[in-house]
Chain A
C-alpha cells in the first residue's frame, strides 16, 4: 500500500514489519522521528515490543547486543555524535558476530557542531565490521531494512542502513509499504545459534588471547567479504517477492560513458537529473551509485567502470588531510587489475548540509572533461561549493 512518508517513518515501519521484539534507541536530530514513531506503535499495541528508553546511544546498542544475544530481534537508530558514542560497541557487536540492524540518519560530525546532512558519521565507522547500505530514497530505506534482517541473521553480521539526514528524513515521498503477511513470508523468525540459555550455558565475549585473536579477526574479515553473496541473494529474492531490487551498485548509463560520476546516497537523484541533461545533448556522461559500501564491491565497481575514462567521485565525507572514503577505496580497487585504471578525481561536497546543486555537479563534469583532455589529473582531491570568500576572512 502506498503511503507518503519520510525515511524516518519508513525506517520505523520497517522495524515494525520485521516484528522486532526489543527496540533500544536514543533520540538525536535528525533521527528522532524514528524513535518517536516506534514509541507510538508500541504504545498503541501495533508493535509487540519492549521499547527500552535508554539514557545514551552507547547504552542503546549495548542493550541491543544483550537482547540479540538473549535471542530476540532488535532495532536501534543512530546519527552523527550518537553513532560516534556508539562506536565502541559497533566493533564489539561485529566481533561477537551478532545479528543486528541499525538505521543511521547520515549527519555531519562535530566540531564545529552540525545537525545537517553529510556522510562523515557512517564513513567514520566503515572499519567497524558492520555491513553498510546507502539508500537513495525512502522506499529503499524501508526495503533495505527488511533485507538487512535477513542478511544479518544469515551471515551473523550486523548491518547499518544509512540515509541522508534532512534530505530523506525530513521530506516525504510515496513509499510502497508491503503487507505484514508478505514480510512474514520473507523474514523467518529470529534465530541466533548461541542464544544465552541456562539449559545450554555459553560464554559470549571472552578474552581473545594472542593465540586466537588473529584467527577470529580473519574469520570476521572473511565473513564480511563473503556477505557480498548474501546481499545479492537476498536482494534478488526481495525483488522476486516485492518487485523491487537494488543491487550492490546501480549503473545509470555508466557502461559506455567517458565520464562517470560516482556517489552514495540521495545525491544520486540529483546526479541522475544532470546526467539526463548531458545525455540529451549527446555528452558521454554516466553515473554509478554505490549502494553497498561494506563489503566494498570492488569487482562490481571495476567492472562497471571498465569503459570509463574519468571517474569523478562526489562524496559527502572526508578523511581529514587525505581524501574521501569512496574515492580511496575505489582507487585501491583498481590496483593490480592488469590494465590502466581510469583517471580519478575526488570531489568533496555537501559537508554540514551544504547543498549540492546541479551547478556543482556540472562543475565536477567540467573539471573531469578538462582532466580528460589534458590526459592527467593534477590534483586528486578537490572541494565543490567551497566559499572561498569565507576562507579569505581568516585572521
Chain B
C-alpha cells in the first residue's frame, strides 16, 4: 500500500449505496491528487451523496454549479488560478456519464479544444444512475435500464457505447486514459500522471453501481475486475495520439463471465451474449489486447 497515500481527503458519512464503486473512485482520485486541487463537479450521484447541506464529504475545495457545465466551471477556475499565479493548484472536473458524454459533452469539448490546464475525470457507471438508472450515451449494447427495458418489441440498449476517449484524443488532448476502480494502483498512477501534465487531460473510470448493475454489493470490485479480465473494459492510455494498452488480461475470459454476474444483463439469450462477445472481440482486436 506504500504507493497509495494514506491521507483521506474524502470523508465517511456520505450517502452512497453500500458497495458503490463510484464513491471508491472519488476516494482514490483524491489520494492521487492530494490537497492542492479545486474540484468542479457536475450534478450526479457523487455530487448528491457527498454534499447534503450542511454535510460535505470533501476535504478539498469543491464547487458544484449545474449538470452540463463541470468542464466550463473548471475552465473558469483554471483561468482564475492562472491570473492569481497559483501554479501549484490543479483545476479538476468530475462528472458521471451524463455530465461527460451527453449533456456535458459540449462544455467538455470546449475545455479541451481551448487547451485549458484541467483534468476531466468521468466516473462511468454506464447509465444515469442518480435519477434511477436511465440509459446514457455510455450504456453498453444490450443493457437493461429503465429507459431501455426488456419488452416484447425492444430488448435493452440498442446502441454501442459512445467512445469518449477517442473523441477527446481527436481534440488533440495530450493525455487520455481509461481506468477501473478494481485496479486502484493503475488508477492512482494515471490520475497523478494526468494531473501533472499541463494541458487538457481526460480519464474515464469504470465504476460499478450496485443497484444499477443489479449486483451483489460484496461483488462490486470483482465485477469491475471481471470487466477488465474479459476485455469488456480495456485499460489504456492515449498519449499525444499514441495508443498504449496498460493491461492485457493473461488469458482473456469469455464475456459471459462478466455479464452473468449482473442482473442488468440477466435477460440476454445465448445468441445475444454471442453477439456481445463478437463486439468485445472486435474491440480487443482493435486495441491489440490478445
Contact = CB atoms under 8 A, between A and B. Distances in A.
B65 A22 contact: no
B144 to A, nearest CB: 28
A203 B79 contact: no
Nearest to A205: B64
B89 interface: yes
A12 B81 CA distance: 23
A209 B35 CA distance: 28
Given A24-B79, A52-B76, A198 B36 contact: yes
- Chain A interface size, under 10 / 10 to 19 / 20 to 34 / 35 or more: 35 or more
Contacts of B274: none
Contacts of A71: 80, 84
Contacts of B83: 21-22, 48-50, 72
A239 interface: no
A50 B110 contact: no
Interface residues of B, number: 43
Nearest to A212: B53
B207 to A, nearest CB: 21
A331 B35 CA distance: 54
Interface in A161-207: 196-198, 200-207
Contact of A55 (B59, B82, B107): B107
Nearest to B38: A196
A198 B61 contact: yes
Contacts of B73: 62-63, 65-66
Contacts of A206: 51-54, 56, 64
Interface string B62-93: 11111011011111110111111000010000
A72 B89 contact: no
A53 interface: yes
Given A21-B83, A198-B36, A89 B76 contact: no
Interface string B90-112: 00000000000000001101100
Report the 7 A-B pairs with minimum CB-CB distance, sorted nearest first. Answer: A66-B76, A63-B76, A205-B64, A55-B110, A70-B80, A59-B72, A62-B72
Interface of B: 35-38, 40, 47-48, 51-54, 56, 58-66, 68-69, 71-77, 79-84, 89, 106-107, 109-110, 113-114
Interface of A: 21-22, 24, 48-50, 52-56, 58-60, 62-72, 74, 88-89, 92, 96, 196-198, 200-209, 212
